[in-house]
Amino acid sequence: MTYTPEIQEKEVTGATIWLTGLPSAGKTTIAYELAGRLRAEGHLVELLDGDEIREFLSAGLGFTREDRHTNVQRIGFVAELLASNGVKVLVPVIAPYADSRDAVRKRHQSEGTPYLEVHVATPVEVCSERDVKGLYAKQAAGEIRGLTGVDDPYEEPETPDLRIESQNQTVQESAAAVHALLTERGLA
């Protein structure tokens, strides 16, 4: 008996969509909205949330530049692996350093895997008002140090594939903008 694999009628193209921005910029909220839309269209979707990755894949890493770089590279590796297998991978992760994000992009390029960088460019003042996790309040009270964009650097992407100012539109409009980019690139 010979095994004959099923032939797919439609080629499934995966991609990594990296949403970078300050804490409380809206990255994860936009990613969940986009994930729902993509799943409704029949796409395989995985969301690699930064907090979950830190708990399970990068446990033990701190917030030094080196540890942040290692964290981003681990996430980038997993994202590329999934994307190369037909999954739309949404990555709402701060990734504060340009060289770390560039290394992830280069890895994707070397593997021939689509990669899109979306900068959720919400001003720090708006992020601190949202303060979803209470980080800005803790930093202001002196309880924590090294908050990205406040007392630790955030290097904004110079040429992202898309820049979203989440404070000027709804979550649905932000997700629609990313979806439009995916469609434009033949990925949705």
pLDDT tens, residue by residue, 103-132: 999 999 999 999 999 999 999 999 999 988
Residues 6+ apart with CB under 8 A from 56: none
CA dihedral 103, 117, 165, 149 (to 10 degrees): -10
Residue 1 has pLDDT above 60, yes or no: no
Instruction: Report how far apart, in Å, the C-alpha atoms of 143 and of each of 137, 138, 148 are.
Output: 9, 5, 15
Predicted structure pTM score: 0.91
Whole-angstrom distance, CA of residue 31 vs CA of residue 18 = 9
**8 Å CB contact between 92 and 28:** yes
pLDDT tens, residue by residue, 28-51: 999 999 999 999 999 999 999 988
